[in-house]
Amino acid sequence: MSDSKPSESQLRLSLAQFLFAQNVDIETLYKALGADLSAADSEAVSHMAGIIDGVTLATKKIRAHGLDNWAKN
């Protein structure tokens, strides 16, 4: 078994999935941590936002059309 660590993209994806599952807004999280979102790495913030948007859209479609048909509509 390898000792490989997840990439930065994989870590952001895992974090986004956790935050979405817990209904945590990323900007609210940054504020709670005392971090200035405008000073954060723009590529990482953009990547997180894209993942969260995609998961949000997929969830809405699954709720509206069901698990088997969400991607068709």
**Is the confidence at residue 2, as pLDDT, over 60?**
no
36-to-14, 29, 30, 33, 45 alpha-carbon distances in Å: 22, 11, 7, 9, 11
The string of pLDDT tens digits covering residues 26-70 is: 778 778 888 777 787 888 888 878 887 887 788 788 888 887 887
